[in-house]
Amino acid sequence: MEKIRQAIERAKARIEQQSEAAPDIPLKQVTGGLWGASQRQAEAIELNLAHLQSRRAVAYDGQDTRSRPFDILRTEVLQSMDLKDWKILAVTSPTPSCGKTLTAVNLALSMGRQPDRQVLLADLDLRKPQVAATLGLKCRDGLLGVVDGSTAIESAIATVRAGKSRFEVLPTAPTANASDLVDSSAFMGVLRDLIVSRRSQIMILDLPPVLTSHDVISILPQVDCVLLVGAVGVSKLAEIEECSKYLQATDVVRFVLNKVPEAATTYAYY
């Protein structure tokens, strides 16, 4: 916790030195492709780069200076995971609006640029899924369809490409019944089957915020490690400390602090 406190203090000091943060990039309404059982999984959906830029998903381009923090984060996370042969990384935050989905997407884009890595990004935030919207994809049911048996898992997974980045995505539609669904044997069975069938891949699971529901607690036993995302002006130290109670049995590989204004980027991590 001392390292997290120091990270927050450094972020506050930087904010005081700067008069304003980088301006928001306007969102453009762009949609990607639809996929189904007839699509060959080897056929990649080309993501719309203008849409990715509008959502600050930039790590598909290694020459973009904004991708560098995510590339450094990728290297450090993978080094920690490789040491223990971990494959399943959960990304979560104390509360909403910390940028956990954006961090998960940029991490997947960065890892997807490495030809020796196979990456799957799965949206397990069944209450407010954002992965498909961030990537500019339409999603009919996705994971929900797999859980209720109406969709084969290979049909729900899409291969996407942006620049030199290529990875797989398992999106989901939202549901008002997330609590019961996450605790169901059907959901856990799908999650375990996914983990077993793709054990050679790095799996990035975008989870709900820790303190908003019990969903994360239900899923944590299935993951190898956690990336916790906080945000300046959003995350309180008491909330981060509360998260640590639920994450005691899980290895936290890194703590990311978002929304730190800097000269070249609006993101920083420690």
- Residue 32: the pLDDT is 37
- Residue 261: the pLDDT is 76
Identify the CATH assignment for 2-269 out of 1.10.287.3510, 3.40.50.2000, 3.40.50.300, 3.40.190.10: 3.40.50.300
Best CA proximity match to 191, nearest among 129, 147, 151, 251: 147
Is the pLDDT reported for residue 15 higher than 80? no
Q: Tell me the three-class secondary structure of the chain, residue by residue.
A: CHHHHHHHHHHHHHHHHCCCCCCCCCCCCCCCCCCCCCCCCCCCEECCHHHHHHCCCCCCCCCCHHHHHHHHHHHHHHHHHHHCCCCEEEEECCCCCCCHHHHHHHHHHHHCCCCCCCEEEEECCCCCCCHHHHHCCCCCCEHHHHHCCCCCHHHHCEEEEECCEEEEEECECCCCCHHHHHCCHHHHHHHHHHHHHCCCCEEEEECCCHHHCCHHHHHHHHCCEEEEEEECCCCCHHHHHHHHHHCCCCEEEEEEEECCCCCCCCEEEC
Is the pLDDT reported for residue 75 higher than 60? yes
36-70 residue pLDDT tens: 333 444 589 999 999 999 999 999 999 999 999 99
203-255 residue pLDDT tens: 999 999 999 989 999 999 999 999 999 999 999 999 999 999 999 999 999 99
Average pLDDT over residues 16-32: 36
Boundaries of every domain in the chain: 2-269
Residue 93's alpha-carbon distances to 24, 111, 136, in angstroms, are 22, 21, 23
Tell me the whole-structure pTM to 2 decimals: 0.83
